[in-house]
Amino acid sequence: MGSNDILMDLGWNAHWQSLWEASQAVDRVVCRVVAVQRSGLLLTPPLPNGQNEISIGGKFFLRLEKDRPTIGDWIVVEADSGALCEILPRLSVIKRLSPAGGGEVQLIAANVDTAFVVTSCNADFSVARLERYISMVLDAGIQPVLVLTKADLAVDIETYRHAMDANFNAWPWFFVDARAATDVAALALWCGQGQTIALLGSSGVGKSTLVNTLSGATVQLTQAVREQDAKGRHTTTHRSLHFLPQGGVILDSPGMREFQLADTVSGVGAVFADIEDLARSCRFRDCRHGAEPGCAIREALQAGRLDPERLQRYLKLIAEAAASSEVVSQRQGRGRAVKKDRPHIPR
Ligand SMILES: Nc1nc2c(ncn2[C@@H]2O[C@H](COP(=O)(O)OP(=O)(O)OP(=O)(O)O)[C@@H](O)[C@H]2O)c(=O)[nH]1
Ligand SMILES: [Mg+2]
Ligand SMILES: [Zn+2]
């Protein structure tokens, strides 16, 4: 396997080393997927023959999206032919429901340690959207860090501080001017060697600006947002991995428009752990928090210990994740059936 030092710079660590040793064969190398293109995968480090692009091909192409290689994956490749042999088991994967429908999941990134969930101190800010992002991130077992950009432009920063204090104190959060190295220095804690960070957020919130400031260089294009409504212009058009001077690897992504949760019920539960704790002390296991006696949720509402809007947001998100789980499991069940019984499937 090439130089270990190079792999370390790509996020390699003892976990990957042991998996690799278990599967090692003399004619194979391990690489990280740094971009997924229509024609194939971009890899780093390149294969011994200098090739840094391979096609997905064969058995991987026929798989459900969740089992196909995605950005951030560690893959084992035949050194000479460039054939993809295996995807090393993922430590984490961020996914959403595919907008194409049909219960397909869409992978956003694999093997991410920390997600910087980015929003701005302007019209982009939405407690509900932050909760949605954090649900997706926690479901993947990833540490969320909330980054509130454009603090330098905020007319009334206290409004944002209040909303953050009321809802998000379980996670680290920061006000920053994303262009200012001194502000962004607070994020370096999550950017050390062996760490992979993903940036998530709407267009125009400053994801690429953060990559540039953390890099101390202009590695990504950025563009001013629309004056009238603070909406971005979808400047970043594809996902890409960047290597930070702090030693970590950071993934820049195009701004996400509204997205639907995949099968992430437990992520929603983790965001609203306080509400799920309360629900466990309702007298009836199947309490619907309506008129039932001994309802801990209703008591908390009446005592002013639970914000009714927060409860509504929880109920909406948990219903969405449950509905997604249903269609996703149907789709994945069908995927297996198709493989096993292919000749008999009626058209
Ligand atoms: N004043 C100020 N401007 C910022 C801040 N963060 C980003 N900007 C500006 O906002 C604009 C959009 O920033 P980008 O980094 O391109 O946003 P993005 O999230 O990458 O957007 P997409 O690539 O479209 O998803 C640029 O003009 C940045 O200079 C900030 O904290 N303060
Ligand atoms: Mg961008
Ligand atoms: Zn109840």
Atom of ligand 1 nearest to the CA of 211: 15
- Which ligand sits nearest to residue 227's alpha carbon? 1
Contact 138, 107 (CB under 8 A): no
C-alpha to C-alpha distance for 12 and 72, rounded to whole angstroms: 11
Which of 3.30.1330.60, 3.40.50.300, 3.40.50.280, 3.40.309.10 would CATH assign to domain 107-258?
3.40.50.300
Ligand nearest to the CA of 282: 3
Domain ranges within the chain, ordered by starting residue: 4-89, 107-258, 261-344
> Which 3 state secondary structure label does DSSP give 153?
helix
User: Could you tell me which CATH number the domain at 261-344 has?
Assistant: 1.10.40.50
Residue closest by Cα to atom 13 of ligand 1: 206
Ligand 1 atom at shortest distance from the alpha carbon of 237:
23
Q: From atom 21 of ligand 1, which residue's Cα is the shortest distance away? A: 204
Locate the DSSP E strands across 7-162: 28-37, 40-44, 53-54, 74-78, 84-87, 93-97, 105-110, 114-120, 143-149
Q: Which residue has the tokens 């909303």?
A: 163
Task: Give Cα 225 to chain centroid, integer Å.
Answer: 23
- Rounded CA-CA distance 61/45 in Å is 23
| Ligand 1 atom 3: residue of nearest CA | 150
- What's the rounded Cα separation, in Å, for the pair 298 and 286? 14
- Judged on CB neighbours under 10 Å (0-12, 13-18, 19+), 4 is exposed
Q: Domain 4-89: which topology?
A: OB fold (Dihydrolipoamide Acetyltransferase, E2P) (2.40.50)
Please name which ligand lies nearest the alpha carbon of 292: 3
CA 237 – ligand 1 centroid, Å: 14
The minimum-distance atom of ligand 1 relative to the CA of 252 is 20
Partners of 279 in beta bridges: none
- What counts of helices (H) and strands (E) characterise the chain? 11, 14
pLDDT (tens place) for every residue of the chain, 347 residues total: 445 677 878 888 888 888 777 666 668 899 999 999 887 899 999 999 999 999 987 777 778 888 899 999 999 999 989 999 999 999 999 999 988 888 889 999 999 999 999 999 999 999 999 999 999 999 999 999 999 999 999 989 999 999 999 999 999 999 999 999 999 999 999 999 999 999 999 999 999 999 999 999 888 889 888 877 778 888 888 899 999 999 999 999 999 878 999 999 999 999 999 999 999 999 998 998 888 999 999 999 999 999 999 999 999 999 999 999 999 988 888 655 444 333 333 33
- Cα(33) to centroid of ligand 3, in Å? 46
Any atom of ligand 1 within 6 Å of the Cβ of 205: yes
Q: What is the pLDDT of residues 7-63, one digit of tens each?
A: 878 888 888 888 777 666 668 899 999 999 887 899 999 999 999 999 987 777 778
